[in-house]
């Protein structure tokens, strides 16, 4: 599990970078065989694009640039657990390994209640075998969100 920490820390850096641009503090990356091949940040405000989730941005590009074999071996790292749309995009992309540092539930406890569906539940319902790893880096991840949602 600890081997995942540096990748998640990079996702937190990307979250902060998104925030500096006036976007929501979310960041993701894709690693193939341990090497970072793509990075993405949230682009919700700068592109006026409400679907500019960092995971979606990474996966969209991954589908264009990587081979099916690379996608199969890839791991999607993301600071916060992905939403239903991004879980679905992950499935269509062929990526089957997901690592996140903070649950949606933990984030929403600090921000505002909002209906959501746990990613684990999504994959269970679908019966797809996905390696889902949650490394508890909640405090570090949520630092990037401090003062963002209720200011």
Q: Which of 11, 58, 87, 141 binds another protein (CB under 8 A)?
A: 87
Binds Zn ion by CB under 5 A, chosen from 86, 98, 99, 144 = 86
Looking at residues 33 to 62 of the shown chain, list those that interact with Zn ion (rule: CB under 5 A). 53
Helix axis angle, 54-65 to 5-20, nearest 10°: 110
Nearer residue to another protein within complex by CB, 65 or 143? 65
108 sits near Zn ion (criterion: CB under 5 A)? no
Residue closer to another protein (CB basis): 13 or 88: 88
Candidates 39, 41, 55, 81; catalytic one:
55
Closest contact distance (angstroms) between CB of 54 and Zn ion is 8
Nearest to 75 by CA among 9, 132, 134, 143: 132
Between 36 and 85, CB nearer to Zn ion: 85
Tokens of 72: 């199969």
Pick from 6, 51, 111, 131 the residue near another protein by CB under 8 A: 51
Q: How far apart, in whole angstroms, are the C-alpha atoms of residue 11 and residue 28?
A: 5
Whole-angstrom distance, CA of residue 71 vs CA of residue 147: 36
Q: Is 132 one of the binding residues for another protein (CB under 8 A)?
A: no
Which residue reads 């992309």 in tokens? 93
Q: Which residues are catalytic?
A: 55
Residues that bind another protein (CB under 8 A): 48-51, 59-60, 63-64, 83-89, 91-94, 115-117, 121-122, 125-128
């Amino acid at each position: 599990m600890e081997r995942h920490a540096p990748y998640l820390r990079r996702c937190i850096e990307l979250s902060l970078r998104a925030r500096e641009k006036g976007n929501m503090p979310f960041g993701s990356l894709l690693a193939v065989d341990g090497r970072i091949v793509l990075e993405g940040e949230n682009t919700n405000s700068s592109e006026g694009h409400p679907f500019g989730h960092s995971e979606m941005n990474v996966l969209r590009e991954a589908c264009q640039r990587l081979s099916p074999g690379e996608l199969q071996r890839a791991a999607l790292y993301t600071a916060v657990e992905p939403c239903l749309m991004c879980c679905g995009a992950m499935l269509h992309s062929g990526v089957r390994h997901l690592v996140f540092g903070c649950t949606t539930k933990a984030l929403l406890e600090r921000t505002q209640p909002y209906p959501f569906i746990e990613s684990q539940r999504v994959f269970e319902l679908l019966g797809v075998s996905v390696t889902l790893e949650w490394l508890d880096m909640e405090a570090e991840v949520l630092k990037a969100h401090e003062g963002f949602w209720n200011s």
